[in-house]
Structure 1
Amino acid sequence: MEQARPLLPEIAYASDPYDCAEGADALVLVTEWDAFRALDFERLRATMAAPVVVDLRNVYRAEDIARRGFRYTSVGQAG
């Protein structure tokens, strides 16, 4: 992130996924990094304005996220 700051100064940076999701209407996953593979969805749901996950990397299974009370959308997968 520190390398990106000078190149993208208009971006709001967060210290972790939970800080980033605070008050968010949706969480959009655009990376497969390990830090995003084992998120605490109960913690996310408590901090987000709306429990919505858009998974552009197909990191999670739809039924697992739905069971945690989230609306889940992925790319390139049926149903």
Structure 2
Amino acid sequence: MQVHKALAQGLIDHGVTTLFGLMGDGNLYLANYYSSIPGATYIASAHEAGAVLMANGYASVSGEVGVATVTHGRGWPTHFRL
């Protein structure tokens, strides 16, 4: 079994029915496979902090575990210089 499929199935097996995330090359396969599982919902975010805050709010309101997945790398285009 591929790792992303095992992780997605593990989330389902532990009762995680909603996954929040910012999809990128680090979690693309996980998010895609998770969203294909019947009964699983993937909610996309435009920023890493948004995904984590949505998971936190979900946990506060629902009483369930809130789970977020984010990718790696820079959060801004390479033409911006600090």
When the two structures are superposed, what TM-score results if normalisation uses the length of structure 1? Answer: 0.34
* Structure (1/2) with the larger helix percentage: 2
Higher RCO (C-alpha 8 Å, min separation 6): 2
**TM-score normalized with structure 2 length:** 0.33
